[in-house]
Structure 1
Amino acid sequence: MLRTIVFAILVLFFFERCAQQVPPTGGKRDSIPPNLVESNPLNKTLNFKGKKIELFFDEYVVVDNINQKLVITPEADNPYSYKQNGMSVALTFKNQFKDSTTYTLNFGDAIKDFAEKNPAKNLKIVFSTGTSLDSGRVYGTLKDIRTNKPIFDALVGLYNVSDTLNIAKQKPYYFSRTDSSGVFSIENIQTRQYKLIAIDDKNRNMLYNAKDERMGFLGKTITAGTDSASYALNMYLSDNTALKVQRTLPKVNNYAVVFSKPIENVEVTFVNKDSLPYLLEPGGTNLKFFNVEPHADTTLVKLKTLDSLGITTEFEQKIAFQAQRGKTRQLDPLTLTTIPEANKPLTNEFTYKLILNKPVKTLDDQKIAIISDSLTNEPLNAFKYTWNTNRNILTIAAKSFAKDSVKFDIPKGSIISVEGDTLAKTLLKHPVLNEEDFGVIRGRVTNADTAVHFILELVDEQYKVVETVYASPYTFKNIPQGKYFLRITVDKNRNRRWDTGQIDKDLQPEPVYYLPDKILLKANFELNDINITIPEEK
């Protein structure tokens, strides 16, 4: 009997296990986005006087960051709350919309289906609080002027024309955002004149932050609805904020003046016949003075700076180092970098730069040697070399007959900084360039007025400049195998650098053009007749 009962329990346990439900696996993924089946008000409604907008879909939906993604044009300054209820979404606004105005609500990807989060496509509602819909449209493309690449999710705005327009404080009246191809379209606009301006708007406050946001603008005003052309805008950084001394960093050994933005150059004048070594550090924001010469407790200097917009600013600055504690100073180490970088190949005739992080007090050009193939050892004084103004960059023009390698032997004590420290023994080695491992690109600048000055650059796929020339025909020699772009800048002020635009002066940046096709260069190949045209200015 007991055996029968045990057997019955086991059978029941087996069938219970078999009857347990298991979620199904696999199946086709839902890739269909939700469709709008009805709205209140209906799309393109006239004489709308309400404060509530409702959207009804064919499936359950969720709302995703609608406060950031919903674009209402013109900018309404009308706070709203939203409520999600299964297959519908309702927006309730605090105030009524402005009378006799056409509004567009573009939801982007703010509303998605519940299951797979597929966003509703092209979800947009247009209505008018007046008797007609505005029909004006402005469209075009946006790209970065330096890379020629389209810019995604930038704000393109139409601003009311005004002599006091300040995009750092004023929001656009109509606006749109660019898609992944840099295309923008602003629709249902009142037919009147506007200023067309694009900004990065990284923090999505619809205001321009010149310190870290790119911008671009059309020089002329446009009339929406009558101008049918597509507009091409270029974006660029243009920090037009006033240069200031942001802070100072006093230490025992040095004193740094930190500027609010990078500067290109600085002239230093010592007022009270004092003198201190100094240098502008890489990046252009830190001007560092070194505490090494006998000087007064406080040194007064006059600074004349030049920024990237060509604007000069003058300051008076007091330099006061921290008092020393203890018998010895703790110095920042002396460091060295080179151009070309270590292990990069050199031609037999080359220019070489030693870059130090402190000004140099003494250099023994008899101890420093250039060694060719470990056989020929020549002292630095056998070659021509020059210092920069601050004596921290040494430029060497040299020639060797090496077949395998060139070395720079820098013994300890051969370079002594203004603080009295030196480098450890340093050996820099570079292979000799084998021309068969590299290629050549030749061509000319066509259709260029002989009076036009230009900057022709070969840049790699990361837009890093490989080589620069300023004349036509051109030759780029000893170029590593790879893919490149050819970029030409019209150098209007002949300063051999690209100059950005300034909206407050209605000044456009210097034009930049690219060869349409990417250049593919192979080792031991020559590419000839790679010509680039400077288009005529309209």
Structure 2
Amino acid sequence: MFKNVVFILLLITLLGWMPSCARRGNVTGGPKDSLAPQLISSFPKNFSTQFSGNIIKLQFDEYVKLKDLDKQLVVSPPMNTAPEVTPQNPSKILTVKIKDTLQPNTTYSFNFGQSIQDNNEGNPYQQFRFVFSTGPAIDTLRLGVKIKDALERKTDNFVSVMLYEVDANYTDSIVFKKAPKYVANSLDSAKVVRLENLKSGTYRLVAIKDLNKNNRFDPQTEKIGFQRDFVRIPNDTVYQLELFSPQRDLRITSTSHTKKSRVLVGFQGAIAKASLKLQKGNEVIPHRLVKLAGKDSAEVWFNATKGDSLTLHLQKDAYQKTFGFKVKEAKKDSLQIGIGPGGNLPFRDTLFIKPSNPLKKWDSSLMRLVRKDSSEVKFTVQYNEYRNTMAVLFDKEPQEKYKFSALPGALTDWFEQKNDTLQLNTNTGDYADYGNLKLNLKNAKRFPILVELTDSQGKLLASSYSDKSSSFSFDLIPPNTFTVRIIYDDDKDGKWTPGNFMELKQSEEVYYYPEPIEVRMNWDAEQTIDLGP
């Protein structure tokens, strides 16, 4: 009897234990792995000399995986054909296959950035470098470089820093045509970029936001920064390069005859300064160029008849483009008028009229602006042909309601179409809803100076210009926290001008006040900014 009881209890225990044995799960508990993988051996050894092969083997102490290798791996000197790194799946051994011809007596550096990570937790092997020389010695010189944007407060990441050897074959145009002698990259976090394993010599130092990753500068799409004077190595100076997008040369990217009376032109650069001619045979056809807001495209408007064969010629300096087309049958573009802003009109904003078609003429005597008591308000209008916008300018009073109206015939478009009656109601707030900011500059290096207020994202909110005064007033600005940007406008064109690499001309100097400035409602703020060293 006792034996039977013992047997039954033992059986119950086993049955309760067996499901738990069969249940699969993850091991829990214990500290999380935070250690990066480590290289335990390689072939050849790191920092080897007299290397003449094309295969490198790297063995690690744990399984590793590759992440963003195309962004992170930087080979210096750069190779015409990128090396192949395998496998792509987790492994303890990585194989690097070199597909380019190695240069004699040259030190090569493979900087893997953060691309090698452990398989479980993704801990990166930070800035792992594998170095070898095809000659008898490893070059050991280095150079430090800081990168900043010439205009914006935020600097791009993944910027290539390059050294071009200055020898008998060197010209400044080499940056457009050939890869540099040495290259390093800021990746996504480096504050100081280190070019390492360099030979002594004289070099041109540049930085490029190399979007197409070809180790050459494309001025139509990429930013560049440079040191004006040649750099001699060895050198313990930490250079600072300022990135800028150069003024683009005009390039027509597309042309299409979209409507009966207009041609759509896609472009890069400054099309507003181009010479345009529209012809029907030898006859010159009147036309109007209008920029499309927020796009790198414009429209050329004209009057023509269905079936006319027209030719559009665009030219700027040595660049020219010709587009021939036959006029389509299409419905005439009716005149639509937009006007705004309605509702609240900030004191620093402007009332705008935006017609759908270019204007040929206007009659301001058919326009009227009145207050809420119906008294007349003096105003002027300014029409921008290129933007196809008309500003209605007047002195605004606080807590006032305004009514703008335009009678039929006040506006006449390109096709002699006239507007219908227009009306807009708008109003201003109280002065107390806004704040005032006065900035006093000390130790300004030179004039003229352009002072700009931006938000935290760099959007321009207000600006003020002076060719002699050190005080800048921003009255009746909406409450906000502002960033102050100060520009030395050396070419006196009222805006920031980028540099020019081929002329070795740096961008206009920009200074950011390091602290944000808060402006509150019904508040007068004043700040002194010392621009001295």
Q: TM-score by structure 2 length?
A: 0.83
Q: Report SS of the residue matched to 2:491.
A: coil
**Which residue in the other structure is 2:7 paired with?**
none
Out of 103, 109, 123, which is 2:128 matched to? 123
How far apart in 2 are the matches of 1:210 and 1:38? 43
Letter in 2 for 1:457: E
Out of 429, 453, 464, which is 2:459 matched to? 464
The worse-fitting range, judged by mean Cα deviation, of 17-26 and 479-488 is 17-26
Whether 2:237 is the aligned partner of 1:229: answer yes
**C-alpha displacement of 1:231:** 0.8
**C-alpha displacement of 1:9:** 12
How far apart in 1 are the matches of 2:395 and 2:70? 65
Structure 1 residues 160 and 415 mapped into 2: Cα distance closer, same or farther (>3 Å)?
same
**C-alpha displacement of 1:481:** 1.9
**Which residue in the other structure is 1:352 paired with?**
351
**Which residue in the other structure is 1:47 paired with?**
50
Q: Report SS of the residue matched to 2:502.
A: helix
**Which residue in the other structure is 1:520 paired with?**
518
Q: Report SS of the residue matched to 1:237.
A: coil
The worse-fitting range, judged by mean Cα deviation, of 428-437 and 105-114 is 428-437
**Which residue in the other structure is 1:494 paired with?**
492
Structure 1 residues 62 and 446 mapped into 2: Cα distance closer, same or farther (>3 Å)?
same
How far apart in 1 are the matches of 2:101 and 2:260? 64
Give RMSD over aligned pairs: 3.7
**Which residue in the other structure is 2:25 paired with?**
23
Cα contact 1:346–1:430 (8 A) shared by 2: no
How far apart in 2 are the matches of 1:487 and 1:18? 67
Cα contact 1:345–1:430 (8 A) shared by 2: yes
Whether 2:66 is the aligned partner of 1:58: answer no
The worse-fitting range, judged by mean Cα deviation, of 118-127 and 408-417 is 408-417
Structure 1 residues 315 and 72 mapped into 2: Cα distance closer, same or farther (>3 Å)?
closer
**C-alpha displacement of 1:343:** 4.0
Q: Report SS of the residue matched to 1:496.
A: coil
For residues 245-272 of structure 1, give each alpha carbon's deviation from its aligned partner in whole angstroms, at most 9, with x where no partner exists. Answer: 7424353132334434343435556774
Q: TM-score by structure 1 length?
A: 0.83
**Which residue in the other structure is 2:210 paired with?**
201
Cα contact 1:334–1:421 (8 A) shared by 2: no
Give matches, 1:145-294, under 5 Å. Answer: 145-161=150-166, 162-163=170-171, 165-178=173-186, 179-225=188-234, 227-241=235-249, 243-244=251-252, 246-249=254-257, 251-266=259-274, 272=283, 274-282=285-293, 285-292=296-303
Cα contact 1:438–1:525 (8 A) shared by 2: yes
Cα contact 1:151–1:180 (8 A) shared by 2: no
How far apart in 1 are the matches of 2:129 and 2:323? 60
Cα contact 1:159–1:172 (8 A) shared by 2: yes
* % identical equivalent positions: 23
Cα contact 1:210–1:240 (8 A) shared by 2: yes
How far apart in 2 are the matches of 1:240 and 1:528? 39
**Which residue in the other structure is 1:3 paired with?**
none
Give matches, 1:72-151, under 5 Å. Answer: 72-77=75-80, 80-84=83-87, 86-94=91-99, 97-151=102-156
How far apart in 2 are the matches of 1:88 and 1:171? 31
How far apart in 2 are the matches of 1:252 and 1:217? 48
For residues 482-536 of structure 1, give each alpha carbon's deviation from its aligned partner in whole angstroms, at most 9, with x where no partner exists. Answer: 221211222222111222112122222222221222222222222223325276x
Cα contact 2:149–2:244 (8 A) shared by 1: yes
Cα contact 2:250–2:267 (8 A) shared by 1: no
Structure 1 residues 265 and 96 mapped into 2: Cα distance closer, same or farther (>3 Å)?
closer
How far apart in 1 are the matches of 2:319 and 2:78? 41
Whether 2:490 is the aligned partner of 1:482: answer no
How far apart in 1 are the matches of 2:339 and 2:185? 43
Q: Report SS of the residue matched to 1:168.
A: helix
For residues 396-454 of structure 1, give each alpha carbon's deviation from its aligned partner in whole angstroms, at most 9, with x where no partner exists. Answer: 2213546243343456765443235566765544441322222222123332356x322
Cα contact 2:36–2:124 (8 A) shared by 1: yes
Matched residues, number? 514
**Which residue in the other structure is 1:309 paired with?**
none
Cα contact 2:435–2:522 (8 A) shared by 1: yes
**C-alpha displacement of 1:199:** 1.1
Q: Report SS of the residue matched to 1:478.
A: strand
Structure 1 residues 352 and 281 mapped into 2: Cα distance closer, same or farther (>3 Å)?
same
Structure 1 residues 449 and 117 mapped into 2: Cα distance closer, same or farther (>3 Å)?
closer
